[in-house]
Structure 1
Amino acid sequence: MEPDLGSAPTTASALTSLDLGDDFGWALGVLLRAHRDRVQEAIGDFPHGPRGYETMAEVIRGTQPSQLALANHLGIDRTVMTYLVDDLEADGLVERRPNPADRRQRLVVATPRGQEVISGACSRVVAAQDLVLGALDPAEREALRRLLVKAAVGTGGDVDDPCEVADE
């Protein structure tokens, strides 16, 4: 059964008369592609690219109690997460340690080198994000960031800012 489109335009000429400036999906897509490209440039040859950066930033936050929890939080398949952490460990950015609360689990912990590398990467990512949002003044950028996080949390998503370090 097809959905009732009501008075939605069905011809090419009717579609071209739409104002894409009000198209939320289009705007998000443009921003996401620009963000992806700028962040990729900003982090350079970081192991596993943006996925590795996001993983490393989450490790620094220290909020996930195990490698599996880390994979679930980031939406990364657990087998892929194993290879990703292996590569971060081979680069001296993280190490696996037994979890004192549950010896069956392995904690992924940032090394001092990993902390240094992610600190520099976070600074570059924030600068890249500011470039993507260059059409907005600083107050508008902050408002947009707050509203995006609020909307994301409203979906029930697990949202954290990867550049904010958990209080120790």
Structure 2
Amino acid sequence: MSTPDGDLGRQLGTLLSRWRAAVGDVLAAVPSGPRGFHVLGAVVHGSPPTQAALAADLGIDRTVMTYLVDRLVDCGLVERQPDPTDRRVRRIVPTAAGRATHADLATRIATAEDHVLAALDPGQRATLRTLLSRASGAPAHGEDVCAVVSVG
């Protein structure tokens, strides 16, 4: 039997709850919150993907991805542009506002995460991130990597 201090589920749940509270305020203005931020990040940091490729990479249902991209387009953060090699295909491309918004949000999220992990020194924070990455591994095929961090 584990003690409350050794209960991994409680510890992870507490940490995630604190993360959601801190980051929720940052992502409140982003269409679709964390999912919108992750989609925007994938577009900003990758080569312009098709909507279908973006959905597959993030494990988000294609229909849901359509609505997510529509919201980001409506806010002027991304555009759908024709693929120069195949006019039937649309690429999702970040706008200048989308790049600036993502950079600002990433900085604000990092600050919020530093607050959540304030009990750890910077080296311990880096170690925690490395260990969590190793323990969580790569997402399973079709796993919606954005769903678990929903703040709503």
TM-score range with shorter-chain normalisation?
0.7 to 0.9
Checking the alignment, whether the CA contact within 8 Å between 2:23 and 2:109 is kept in structure 1 is yes
Checking the alignment, whether the CA contact within 8 Å between 2:30 and 2:36 is kept in structure 1 is yes
Cα distance change, pair 73–37 in 1 and its aligned pair in 2 (3 A) = farther
Alignment root-mean-square deviation, CA: 1.9
Indicate the structure whose relative CO is greater, using CA pairs within 8 Å and at least 6 residues apart. Answer: 2
In structure 1, the residue matched to 2:144 is none
Question: Which residue, 147, 154, 157 being the options, matches 2:139?
Answer: 157
Spell out the pairing of 1:1-168 with structure 2 (5 A cutoff): 18-62=2-46, 65-153=49-137, 156-157=138-139
| Overall identity of the aligned pairs, in % | 45
Cα distance change, pair 135–113 in 1 and its aligned pair in 2 (3 A) = same
What 5-or-longer segments of structure 2 have no aligned partner?
Answer: 141-152
Task: Please report how far the alpha carbon of residue 44 of structure 1 lies from its aligned counterpart in structure 2 after TM superposition.
Answer: 2.8
Secondary structure, counterpart of 1:134 in structure 2 = coil
1:134 and 1:118 mapped to 2: Cα distance? 24
What 5-or-longer segments of structure 1 have no aligned partner?
Answer: 1-8, 10-17, 159-168
Of the two, which has the highest radius of gyration? 1
TM-score norm. by structure 1 comes to 0.75
Checking the alignment, whether the CA contact within 8 Å between 1:43 and 1:49 is kept in structure 2 is yes
TM-score norm. by structure 2 comes to 0.82
1:152 and 1:63 mapped to 2: Cα distance? 26
Count of residues paired in the alignment: 140
